[in-house]
Amino acid sequence: MRFIGYSLLLSLPFLSLSAEEKDLIPCSWQSKMRANALKKIDKTFEFLFPYATLLYSVDISMPPQIFYNPFKECHLFAKEHGYFSEETPLVGKVTTSKEDIQKTMQILAFIDQKLTGEHRFHAIGEVLAKVLGYRDLQKNMELLLPAFSLKEEKKLILYQVDQVFNLWGGMPAFGLVPKEKGAASPLLIFRGTDTSLEMTRGWASILSDFDVKGPGFSVFLRIQPELHDWLRKVSLNGKKTQVLGFSLGATLAAYTVLYEKDLVSDNMSEPSMAFSLPGVSLENYNKWNALEKPPAFSVCLSQGDFVARVGYLFGDLHVCWLDAPMRPIEAHNALTSFSPKSYIAPGK
């Protein structure tokens, strides 16, 4: 894949189509059936788990940050490629199209230019974990991505897929390194739960969610030696790795940060990041609390999501919400930073 600059990324067809033109794109009956089924299941969960019972505690001594996103390009991406999309779902849905990788890079370039501060950082993290992690990335593929940093660098960096890990049964994780040595931190992205039940990797993913040792823990222990070798290798270039994940992938990211703490980023401006993660076992929670100097690890939960109610959470907790209450599945999968208005506050 050749190097693609900002101007070319932002001129790709996705962002240039009008809303009227997009309405003419046909949706497959499978996509419509999937979206309608998910919405019905979410309504059932809403009945079983009322919103008021799924609220996480926030630090009321600090007012929440309010993120405003006025950009229609972000709103359209969330609508057309979100988890409930009837068109081309990219959040939490595995696809093999190279065009979907281009769309992901394109929206990353857009938010890198348009958003600022923690809003920009949160949005980049959401797309890397919830969207890019579900693309069919291949070894040696080149990707143009923003620097995943709280510093306002506003530049794209050419990464190469250095390693595709087979965690178990085809469940992947992706090790990315910048082509230019030291240009940015390496990235390790764990894919979240994959519900492709026609594929072995989907069954492996779902079974990992119900691991009696904690979601994904047996899978992590299986792959840890390989992860350790890769993390050690890429750290020789001067920067330690930032680890990202969403859902099951977020818990795998948490185990990596905990057990490979000396090889992951300890830079507070370049933390590892996890979204909507299931909690870990009490043993691993206590292991984290016993660390004298824990690595930089940011955890983002959404009000209304029941997944993190199971187990224990560690790291620098943050809680996100919108003006309108979100149903459980919606809260778990939403690109909250793409909403016109969202809130984020420290969690407790």
> Average pLDDT of 244-267?
97
Per-residue pLDDT of 182-204, as tens digits, reads 889 999 999 999 988 888 998 99
In a domain, 151, yes or no: yes
The rounded distance, in Å, linking the Cα atoms of 273 and 296 is 9
Q: How many domains does the chain have?
A: 1
In a domain, 48, yes or no: no
In a domain, 33, yes or no: no
pLDDT score for 42: 86
> Average pLDDT of 230-252?
95
pLDDT score for 87: 82
For 128, the domain range is 6-18+59-346
Inter-residue contact 272 to 265 (CB < 8 Å): yes
pLDDT band at 11 (very low <50, low <70, confident <90, very high): very low
Residue 83 has pLDDT above 70, yes or no: yes
In a domain, 45, yes or no: no
In a domain, 208, yes or no: yes
Q: What does DSSP assign to residue 276?
A: S
CB-count exposure of residue 67 (10 Å: 0-12, 13-18, 19+) = buried
In a domain, 44, yes or no: no
Q: What is the domain-level CATH number for residue 77?
A: 3.40.50
Residue 18 has pLDDT above 70, yes or no: no
In a domain, 256, yes or no: yes
> How many Cβ atoms are within 10 Å of 100's Cβ, its own excluded?
20
The rounded distance, in Å, linking the Cα atoms of 254 and 251 is 5
Three-class secondary structure of residue 142 per DSSP: strand
In a domain, 26, yes or no: no
Q: What is the mean pLDDT of the chain?
A: 90
The rounded distance, in Å, linking the Cα atoms of 119 and 123 is 6
Q: Which residue has tokens 């390790």? A: 188
Residue 4 has pLDDT above 70, yes or no: no
